[in-house]
Amino acid sequence: MRALPLALTLVLLAGGAANAAELLKPGDPFPAWELTDHTGAVVTSASLAGTTYLLWYYPKALTPGCTREGCELRDNFEAFQAKGVAILGASFDDPQDNAKFVAEHRFPFRLLSDTDRTLAVQVGAADSPRRVWARRISYLVGGDGKVLKAYNNVNPSEHAGQVLADLEAMGR
């Protein structure tokens, strides 16, 4: 096995891998949040009251795995809409980078910037505000603000189908 270059090792130690915070569990209240989307508009959990939503954290805009996951969600967007589920992506990218991501892949949903990582730390997408990239996790949050399902170590190619199957199993 080949050793990692020192620079990459330091990045990983600074926040790329390791000791992930515990995920919220079904029934737990999802923390209140306020984040800026890719258009510069502020989006809040309060503005989504009564709406079921999928909040998917992705590591970095315009990278292969994140693009695959975003495109899978985009390609299944109508199925999510039919079930009354809004889709929101979140990363540590700034709104401008997220805007490029949306434009390049024609995403019909908002991408949120959690640049200070406050929500990410609360929900287990980051261990600390120093983490370089978000963990690839998602939450399905009910209209009452409680977690319906938490997804850890998401497979970008299968996530949309997995969430839709879970919604079906929930009778939604």
71 is catalytic: no
Q: What share of the chain is helix, strand, coil (3-state, %, to 5)?
A: 35, 20, 45
Q: How far apart are CA 158 and CA 76, in angstroms?
A: 11
- Of 54, 55, 66, 111, the catalytic one is 66
**What are all long-range contacts of 25-28, with beta carbons under 8 Å and residues at least 24 apart?**
25/147, 25/150, 26/146, 26/147, 26/148, 26/149, 26/150, 27/146, 27/147, 28/146, 28/147
CA distances from 3 to 15, 85, 89 (A): 18, 44, 34
What is the DSSP code string of 11-40?
A: HIIIIISS-PPPPP-TTSBPPP-EEEETTS
Asked if 165 contacts 88 with a C-beta cutoff of 8 angstroms, the reply is: no
Where in the sequence numbering do the catalytic residues fall?
Answer: 66
